[in-house]
Copies of this chain bind each other. A is one copy, B any other.
């Protein structure tokens, strides 16, 4: 039979419906059996005879034909996750069987991260886990919408690149025919080239980091939300755009992911104006508060980021905070130095509940200065041949930023590990399945 409805569109009692989905739970109750049916839209309780349900196991795929009924009043007064109606089953058919589950995947599912990932196709069926990726996709949708409204053009950045994009050793190499190529650490150089073409561009990029260690906030392949804009009047425009983007993103999540937020007890922050603080000012504040003197360091330590986030919460009631003016020597060669103090740059990060979720800034758009900096940073000009062309032939003042999509979701939902916000996270020890330490390289 054809499916007539999906679960969350069931409204009217008394109606005959055909539903399809998975047996989320199966509970025997004497001659009556309760099967909670799950489809892409939600979960509903169905009531059938023990005879009908006798072969049904959890995660079997079912076709159910029945009548929509209101649930008994006393039940409705309690809050029931599976809704105020149920299905009185007339016919039940098993479309596909499931083998016995290795563990319970329902609401309360509590498994350690390695187990969660070892059984990803199964654990992703848990409603709370699904909510992570609903919220992630909503954030991406919102990112696109805001930028499309601002007349940005989306483009697709390549991931195989000829050189390690921005220096650093944390890069994966690829056997590229008879050559070596690399996996892009970011779409940085490409989005800048595209400013010369469409002025305002953005991309959903796969970014790769061969981090030599396992932490809770790094993964080897992640989704970077990258934007870049030309003809800026000042670098402040970049921060304003970024602020608007996050504001809209949080509003859209709040509006379109009500069910997911409630289910996972996520807390979506409200943004008005995000406070903006120079790195040196932040360090001074941290010193005043903690007497820990990191005022000479060229970046904020993770514990500093947590401390200054607390300050922003206390002083500005803000869970987000711009840190600006990072030192020139710690930023990539293309970062624009502050004309008033060239030791520092027109750059910024955004901290969200103490974690860096955005990095951005103005770029050097003058060809000669860029060429000088490529050399000064110890790079070969020939490695940046294509990139430099974009500036050789006229590039307006420009800048941009990148948002870590997994990091945003992690912070909204209070996840413990960044891996939870990636469908199939890769790290030193895992590509889908665990990599054994002793494993020999596989043949092609």
Chain A residues engaging chain B, CB cutoff 8 angstroms: 2-3, 6, 20, 22-23, 39-41, 59-61, 95-99, 101, 119-122, 124-125, 130, 133-134, 137, 140-141, 151, 153-164, 169, 171-181, 183, 190, 193-194, 196-200, 204, 206, 208, 210, 212, 220-221, 223, 231, 233, 365-367, 385-387, 389-390, 392-397, 423-424, 426, 428, 431-433, 435, 437, 439, 441-442, 444
Contacts and interface: CB of A to CB of B under 8 A. Distances in A.
A7 B194 CA distance: 19
A93 B200 CA distance: 22
A433 B162 CA distance: 8
Contact of A61 (B40, B394, B442): B394
Given A121-B196, A161-B432, 18 more contacts: A22-B394, A40-B199, A60-B394, A99-B367, A121-B193, A121-B387, A124-B196, A125-B196, A125-B197, A125-B393, A130-B198, A133-B197, A156-B204, A159-B221, A163-B442, A174-B175, A179-B442, A206-B206
A365 to B, nearest CB: 6
A393 B99 contact: yes
Contacts of A196: 121-122, 124-125
A396 B172 contact: no
10 contacts: A39-B199, A120-B193, A121-B193, A121-B196, A121-B390, A160-B220, A162-B432, A172-B175, A175-B175, A204-B204
A64 to B, nearest CB: 12
A394 B97 contact: yes
Contacts of A365: 96
A95 B396 contact: yes
B40 A397 contact: no
Given A124-B196, A181-B431, A199-B39, A221 B393 contact: no
Contacts of A159: 159, 206, 221
A177 B96 CA distance: 39
B393 A98 contact: yes
B61 A395 contact: yes
A163 B174 CA distance: 15
Contact of A151 (B40, B233, B366): B40
A219 B33 CA distance: 56
A428 B175 CA distance: 12
A79 to B, nearest CB: 25
B99 A179 contact: no
A288 to B, nearest CB: 39
A3 B169 CA distance: 41
Contacts of A367: 99
Instruction: Report which residue of A134, A183, A365, A385 has the largest number of chain B beta carbons within 10 angstroms of its beta carbon.
Output: A183
